Amino acid sequence: MMGKIEDLLNNLPKEIVEFKPYAYVSKRSDSLTAYFKNEADYSVVVNENITLYRSLDTDEVVGIRIDGLSKLELDT
């Protein structure tokens, strides 16, 4: 049985296997979420607007969530 699962995983299309960093804006939650690396992570709440996602293995920041986008004041 295990051989079949390994064969399946080894034959997945390249675009499924390779991770590409991404960012997602949600109007519903008024937030931006971005991931830089595809690693198992845990979250660290920095403040009411920022959550960091850190690697379980290295503690490196692998993602971020920023809440309250509509309330941010950005200099232009």
Q: Is 30 left (phi over 0), alpha (psi -120 to 50) or beta?
A: left
Q: Which residue did the predictor score with more confidence, 47 or 20?
A: 47
Residue 48 falls inside a structural domain: yes
Q: Is residue 39 helix, strand or coil?
A: coil
CA atoms of 51 and 64, how far apart (whole Å): 6
Residue 1 falls inside a structural domain: no
Average pLDDT rounded to a whole number, residues 21-36: 95
As separate numbers, helices (DSSP H) first and strands (DSSP E) second, the chain gives 2, 5
Whether 18 shows a pLDDT value over 70: the answer reads yes
Residue 11 falls inside a structural domain: no
What was the pLDDT predicted at 17?
A: 62
Domain that holds residue 56: 19-70
| pTM for this prediction | 0.72
Backbone angles phi, psi at 19, to 5 degrees: -90, 140
The predicted-structure confidence for 49-74, as pLDDT tens digits, reads as follows 999 999 999 999 999 999 999 887 77
